[in-house]
């Protein structure tokens, strides 16, 4: 039984897991506090994590009907993420591990997203497996060779997919973070209403993502549609949202499809994680892609496992042998803001 903690960005999260089983998953989001800045403010995130972490941990233990004495280990996200935010969770995890003489497992946040769809499923991956992580900070296609052995096949050159959706939402006056609202508006819009460029068209062999050109095109288009009016009409917002989302997802689709075709991968399963995996249109597209390539496509079973959470950190810790860690020097555990899954 593992107590897991994640304070990598703007969610203060703690969970209790037992292998792949989620016993509790508590998330206190700070998103509304950061909304006024249009993005995550690191110093504010750190302060809020400090204020909320004890409550969140106690709640996670209580919901799981357990106590620290009954735990086998503590797991904490040590990266990637915001350095001063990560620090809060790491320090708290060290304190608990020391107080109750528990091994401490440093966990990679992206590995958590990669494995999040295995929650309550006993790690039943068909290996090797294709992993897709789409969040506010990451857009990565990863080859899961085995649990703990990962190879990045594609990543973004600039913005992450969620970040791009958030920026488009902001241009349309939909607030922050706007991915979910953009999806809602897009449902009422025509995805072919406005022509936006497909990123990396005919450059698929580079196997990388780029959303900055699409973002600039969206800004120009929005200004043009607005003309000298102060606001867009509701239908214009819906059409613009649908057009942007369509291209953004088509880009993800194309690169993933290209990788599957060109790399001669013998994968039979695709696991998807990260905040953007909450999007129904994206799920539909990836399921279709999976069908074309004979892949089983797996998403997290609950919306609480899609965005940032600590249950996925417990899961990523759950398959690691903890026996030998008891004598690990916890002083060596430190934040790694740019930790890649390839370096696990
Ligand atoms: O995984 P996450 O909570 O945090 C990071 O690790 O970044 O992902 C947050 C991202 C935000 O960009 C947010 O707009 C996006 O996930 N998101 C969505 C949806 N729900 C959240 N994007 C598209 N459609 C959604 N329904
Ligand atoms: Zn995340």
CB of 276 within 6 A of ligand 1: the answer is yes
Q: Where are the beta strands (DSSP E) in the chain?
A: 2-6, 11-18, 21-29, 73-79, 104-108, 129-134, 139-146, 149-156, 208-209, 269-273, 296-298
Q: Measuring CA to CA, which residue among 66, 99, 135 is closest to residue 314?
A: 66
Residue to probe by mutation, ligand 1, list 275, 309, 341, most atoms within 8 Å of CB: 275
Q: Model confidence over 246-303: pLDDT tens digits?
A: 999 999 999 999 999 988 888 999 999 999 999 999 999 999 999 999 999 999 999 9
Rounded to whole angstroms, the Cα distance separating 249 from 45 reads 29
pLDDT of residue 323 exceeding 70: no
Q: Quote the pLDDT of residue 122.
A: 80
Taking all residues of the chain, what is their mean pLDDT, rounded to a whole number? 96
Q: Measuring CA to CA, which residue among 13, 14, 11, 85 is closest to residue 2?
A: 14
User: Cβ atoms within 10 A of the Cβ of 243, count?
Assistant: 22
User: Cβ atoms within 10 A of the Cβ of 43, count?
Assistant: 10
Q: Model confidence over 186-196: pLDDT tens digits?
A: 999 999 999 99
Atom in ligand 1 nearest the alpha carbon of residue 306:
1
Q: Model confidence over 197-231: pLDDT tens digits?
A: 999 999 999 999 999 999 999 999 999 999 999 99
Q: Measuring CA to CA, which residue among 85, 42, 2, 58 is closest to residue 313?
A: 2
pLDDT of residue 8 exceeding 80: yes
| Angle at alpha carbon of residue 181, lines to 50 and 141, rounded to 5° | 75
Residues around ligand 2, an ion, CB closer than 5 A: 135, 308
CA 66 – ligand 2 centroid, Å: 26
Global pTM value: 0.96
Q: Quote the pLDDT of residue 234.
A: 98
CA 192 – ligand 2 centroid, Å: 30
Rounded to whole angstroms, the Cα distance separating 279 from 32 reads 20
If you ran DSSP here, which 8-state letter would residue 334 be given?
A: -
């Amino acid at each position: 039984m593992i107590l897991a903690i994640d304070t990598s960005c703007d969610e203060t999260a703690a969970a209790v897991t037992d292998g792949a089983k989620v016993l509790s998953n508590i998330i206190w989001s700070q998103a509304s506090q950061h909304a006024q800045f249009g993005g995550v403010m690191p110093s504010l995130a750190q302060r809020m994590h400090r204020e909320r972490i004890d409550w969140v941990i106690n709640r996670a233990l209580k919901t799981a009907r357990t106590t620290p004495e009954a735990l086998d280990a503590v797991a904490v996200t040590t990266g990637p993420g915001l350095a001063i935010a990560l620090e809060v969770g790491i320090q708290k995890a060290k304190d608990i591990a020391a107080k109750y003489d528990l091994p401490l497992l440093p966990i990679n946040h992206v590995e958590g997203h990669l494995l999040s769809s295995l929650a309550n499923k006993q790690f039943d991956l068909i290996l090797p497996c294709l992993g897709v992580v789409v969040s506010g900070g990451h857009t990565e296609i990863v080859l899961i060779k085995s649990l703990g052995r990962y190879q990045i096949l594609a990543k973004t050159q600039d913005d992450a997919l969620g970040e791009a959706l958030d920026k488009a939402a902001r241009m349309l006056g939909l607030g922050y973070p706007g991915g979910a609202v953009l999806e809602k508006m897009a449902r009422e819009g025509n995805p072919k209403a406005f022509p936006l460029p497909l990123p990396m068209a005919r450059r698929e062999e580079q196997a990388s993502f780029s959303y900055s050109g699409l973002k600039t095109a969206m800004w120009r288009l929005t200004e043009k549609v607005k003309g000298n009016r102060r606001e867009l009409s509701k239908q214009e917002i819906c059409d613009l949202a649908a057009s942007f989302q369509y291209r953004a997802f088509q880009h993800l689709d194309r690169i993933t499809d290209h990788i599957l075709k060109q790399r001669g991968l013998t994968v039979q399963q695709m696991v998807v994680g990260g905040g953007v995996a909450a999007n129904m249109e994206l799920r539909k597209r990836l399921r279709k892609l999976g069908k074309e390539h004979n892949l089983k496509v797996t998403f997290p079973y609950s919306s609480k496992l899609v965005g940032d959470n600590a249950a996925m950190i417990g899961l990523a810790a759950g398959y690691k042998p903890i026996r030998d860690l008891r004598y690990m020097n916890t002083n060596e555990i430190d934040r790694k803001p740019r930790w890649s899954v390839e370096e696990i």
